[in-house]
């Protein structure tokens, strides 16, 4: 690249702090936002008061990595497919517990 690179790692709020900082930066091509796809695709639907607009404030460059989602159930549960799990949950409303590793800002 022929120039120095400064990394300003702004953690917190599940990536929205860094995204807000990048959105406010001068649009001179010298600021890159490296974040999970959720910051630009899911957060705008969950948090309507974000100070950035994904479509207005960012231009995609590339996908750098991918991470699959994983759905698991206890072996004692009689569901071996997603379709079976949904049917079971519908047949037993309010009776199945779940855990999620998702973090909200």
pLDDT above 60 for 72 = yes
Which pLDDT does position 105 carry in this prediction?
46
As a 3-state breakdown, the chain gives helix, strand, coil percent values, each rounded to 5, of 35, 0, 65
pTM: 0.63
The residue assigned the tokens 């750098």 is: 64
User: Other C-beta atoms within 10 Å of 85: how many?
Assistant: 16
DSSP state of 15: G
pLDDT above 60 for 103 = no
Which pLDDT does position 31 carry in this prediction?
93
- Under the banding of pLDDT at 50, 70 and 90, the label for residue 40 is very high
3-state class (DSSP) for residue 42: coil
**For 6-35, what is each residue's pLDDT tens digit?**
999 988 888 999 999 999 999 998 999 999
């Amino acid at each position: 690249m022929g120039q120095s690179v400064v990394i300003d790692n702004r953690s917190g709020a599940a990536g929205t702090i860094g995204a807000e900082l990048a959105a406010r930066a001068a649009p001179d091509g010298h600021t890159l936002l490296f974040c999970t796809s959720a910051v630009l695709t899911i957060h705008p639907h969950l948090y309507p008061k974000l100070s950035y607009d994904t479509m207005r404030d960012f231009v995609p460059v590339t996908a750098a990595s991918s991470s699959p989602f994983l759905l698991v159930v206890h072996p004692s549960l009689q569901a071996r497919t997603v379709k079976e799990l949904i049917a079971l949950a519908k047949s037993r409303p309010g009776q199945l517990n779940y855990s999620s590793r998702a973090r909200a800002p």
